[in-house]
Structure 1
Amino acid sequence: MLTLPAVLTHAASAVFARGLPQAVQSQPAEVVADASALQQFDSSALAVLLECRRQAMAAGKAFAVHGAPARLRELASLYGVQALIPPVATAATVAAA
């Protein structure tokens, strides 16, 4: 599981995104981004999740998000990208990640 930090704003997202290629490659067949720790974020968090999804798909891996705060889901809906950052389908997937 790829854990997002508590703060993922414009200033922090570039630093976090630099580590995505290695983090995605180290994941099994499905990359699960754990967003449950997010407390302070802006639309940059969506950009990070979309980049994570892009890298997962390029590596032939599935992608899902666990624990997305309501505000993050609202932002995704507002920007029309909610289908691109799907929630984890089952608790078993989270436990296996």
Structure 2
Amino acid sequence: MIEREGGRLAVKVPLTMANARGLLEAGRVALQPGEQVFDFSAVNEADSSAIAVMLGWLRAAEPSNSTVKFAHIPAGVRSLAELYGVTELLPLA
């Protein structure tokens, strides 16, 4: 689901409701102290559950002494973040 590639956490499956619970847990497990960049460049499908997963990773980062950023957020997810008014909560890499 998530693979560490060149200092980034590459998301390799669709960011959809069907994968949300697994992605949330995989991201939590992958967190290490320091800056973690979740890279969505391989994601070809996403729905509104992506926002919940991303916010969940941000919440999980604090206790693990991590700082989370996001790279290559799919356009549809960006639009949803704007619609929901949470764009400023999603730090970009």
TM-score (norm 2): 0.80
1:82–1:4 CA distance, 2 compared to 1 (3 A): same
Partner residue of 1:29?
A: 34
Whether contact under 8 Å (2:46, 2:76) holds in the other structure is no
* More strand by percentage: 2
Identical amino acids, percent of aligned pairs? 37
1:8-87 equivalences under 5 Å are: 8-25=15-32, 28-87=33-92
RMSD of the TM alignment (CA)? 1.5
How far did residue 6 of structure 1 move?
A: 3.6
How far did residue 9 of structure 1 move?
A: 0.8
For 2:15, the aligned partner's letter is L
For 1:35, the aligned partner's letter is F
TM-score (norm 1): 0.78
Structure 2 unmatched runs, 5+? 1-7
**Distance (whole Å) between structure 2 residues aligned to residue 58 and residue 79 of structure 1:** 26
How many correspondences in the alignment? Answer: 86
Partner residue of 2:9?
A: 2
* More helix by percentage: 1
Structure 1 unmatched runs, 5+? 89-97
